[in-house]
Amino acid sequence: MSLYLPPRLLALSPGDLAPGEGFALRAADLLDRVRAARRVGLRGVLLREPQLPDGAFTGLAVSLKAILDEGWLGLHDRPHLVAGVGAQGVHLGFRSLTALEARRCVGPEVAIGVSTHAGDSPGLWEGADYLFHGPVYAPLSKPAHLAPIGLGGLREFVEPLGLPVWGLGGMTPELAPAVIAAGAAGVACLGGLLSGADPAEAYARFAEGVVL
């Protein structure tokens, strides 16, 4: 089995794309942002767009795959689309299939990730290859529905686990190095990377403090 896990700095798509008027422009803007960050070193994107139907989602994923080239592309909650897109990973939320169920869809060489939060049972991530855990800090892009766990909560989760964990929630270039120092394998960035005025500059600032 040969798994290709996400890179240490993983960009998440904004999650608010919807079909209809304005979709084409917003999708093109996302692709431009990924392209700009890719030029300065971005290696991975998780496409998380729950409002898009499979057709639009697949088209966007194929375009991202072309931009990333040999980089890592993950699909959120769409294991049935992984093979057709050629994605390297699928990420599962609380409404998704279990990791064991998803494995039957995607085969042995696709990395399966699961989102976790404080107090979750280990049974939630049985069969997963990597995890997201958080929110470590208060999210930048949306209201916090869960209290931030802080670096102590992240460290407490990571130390006995035996699986690579990406810290999620409120990631900025200034805060990300401490998340790695707390034991995380990487950081997953939503608002702090692709949604700003200059994704290339944001990536460069993250890369200064996170050994990629």
Q: DSSP secondary structure string, 141-200?
A: SS--SS---HHHHHHHHHTTT-S-EEEESS--TTTHHHHHHTT-SEEEESTTTTSSS-HH
Name residue 207's amino acid. Answer: A
Answer yes or no: is 189 within a domain: yes
Answer yes or no: is 3 within a domain: no
Return the CATH number at 168: 3.20.20.70
Answer yes or no: is 48 within a domain: yes
Helix or strand run (H / E) with residue 11: strand 9-12
pTM for the whole structure: 0.95
Answer yes or no: is 1 within a domain: no
Half-sphere exposure of 146 (CA within 13 A, CB side): 17
> Over the stretch 176-197, which tens digit does the pLDDT of each residue have?
999 999 999 999 998 889 988 8
Range of the domain at 113: 9-208
> Over the stretch 92-103, which tens digit does the pLDDT of each residue have?
998 889 999 999
**In the structure, what pLDDT confidence band is assigned to residue 1 with cuts at 50, 70 and 90?**
very low
**Structural domains in the chain (count):** 1
Q: Are 49 and 57 in contact (CB under 8 A)?
A: yes
Answer yes or no: is 150 within a domain: yes
- Token pair 């991975």 is at which residue? 44
Please say if the pLDDT value at position 70 is more than 70: yes
Q: What is the CA radius of gyration of the chain?
A: 16
Answer yes or no: is 4 within a domain: no
